[in-house]
Structure 1
Amino acid sequence: MLPLKISVTLSLDEAVLRGICRCAERENRSVSGYVTVALRRYIKRVEGGEIGAGELELAAERSKGKKRNRTLSISGDVVEKMRLYAELDARPLSQYVNLVLKRHLAEIEEQESMHKKRA
């Protein structure tokens, strides 16, 4: 049985939201579907010991850029894990998810840059 989806309104940096929308379009997914997959990958890495749930130093500086509220339908199990990680890191859920997605986009950019160098 697939986990139930929950509607969650997150306040995301405009740049992060634009990046996620581009990636979702490129993969022919909905934004909600893309975010769910990105967060699941993050959870898998945390649970596998690859990274710690509190290791979001990449984007630790507080962004003063514009934020946009976006309501997404995300699997309930993913939302609950992200709430737990956010709580452990003493951050609001929106801020924690924003940092995870910012890290995700930075990793994609790095992979694309490495791919271009090889070509």
Structure 2
Amino acid sequence: LREFLETFTETTAARPDQVLLNSSYIFMMDLMLPRKKEVLDYLNGVKDDVIRSARVILFRGDKAPPVVEEWNCGPLPKVFSCKLLKELETKTRNPLDFSLRPFSMMELSPDRGFKDLLMRLDSEVL
């Protein structure tokens, strides 16, 4: 899934070792629950399989203005498509303002994010 998101033209997520605040990067991936009817059809022998997909939260620092987007990617395990989730599916706005995102390891890691900015601010204050 990660490799697909790195090459998918609508997301072009950065590789984990190349993430910057102004790039598109994966914050979180999780399995999406299938619809109840699909599961019941599978359990009752009506369907052969339940198609699984993943919810992916992308921090899109590469957009102007930057945003947070939720995507539905599937089918798992061989992903070949992703679509931006609609507001009815997320129960919130999609995309969200970048300022509403939680801090990630990218911002907190010593070799990326705010370290240079904090060091520069610290030297200017002293």
Q: TM-score normalised to the size of structure 1?
A: 0.28
Higher strand proportion (structure 1 or 2): 2
Structure whose residues are more often helix by fraction: 1
Larger radius of gyration: 2
Given the two structures, how large is their TM-score scaled by the length of structure 2?
A: 0.27
